[in-house]
């Protein structure tokens, strides 16, 4: 997919709109967020347009995680941040994929872990598996 003219992130990724860029290559531009959650909060912007993670092509997807690790390592070294401070409680790589719902919580950044019965977990798992 090419960049879209009406997408602000496409414009930033192409350099049409100025940004504070911390990294750039032929596929990505990494910028500092203008409304940061914390010092160094960055956005990894593919130069190709994808509406969301579900639309990423395999080539871009294969490159974004190593880039995230590279940026994260630079943040740890340059800014002194750490996984524990971000709420990481199990020191084993993992990625959260958290669905959002209309009428659901407005902000999940300060989420308090909930509970789910074995039946609720099984039902949700089967619904997801049925769509894979």
Q: Where is pLDDT greater, at 83 or 125?
A: 125
pLDDT digits (tens, 9 = 90+) for 96-128: 777 777 887 777 666 677 788 888 877 877 777
User: Is there a catalytic annotation at residue 94?
Assistant: yes
Which among 41, 49, 94, 96 is annotated as catalytic?
Answer: 94
Q: Quick one: CA torsion of 83, 85, 86, 90, rounded to 10 degrees?
A: 50
Q: Where is pLDDT greater, at 113 or 7?
A: 7
Could you list the beta-strand ranges (E) of the chain: 21-24, 28-32, 42-46
Q: Which residues pair with 21 in a beta bridge?
A: 31
Mean pLDDT of 41-53: 93
């Amino acid at each position: 997919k090419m960049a879209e003219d009406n997408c602000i992130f496409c414009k930033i990724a192409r350099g049409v709109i100025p940004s504070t860029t911390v990294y750039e290559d032929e596929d990505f531009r990494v910028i500092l967020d203008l409304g940061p959650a914390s010092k160094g909060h960055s956005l990894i912007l593919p130069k190709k347009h994808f509406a969301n993670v579900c639309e990423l092509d395999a080539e871009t997807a294969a490159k974004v995680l190593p880039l995230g690790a590279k940026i994260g390592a630079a943040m740890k070294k340059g800014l002194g941040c750490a996984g524990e401070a971000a709420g990481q409680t199990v020191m084993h790589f993992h990625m959260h994929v958290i669905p959002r719902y209309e009428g659901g919580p407005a902000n999940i950044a300060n989420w308090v872990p909930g509970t789910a019965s074995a039946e609720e977990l099984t039902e949700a798992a089967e619904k997801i598996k049925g769509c894979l």
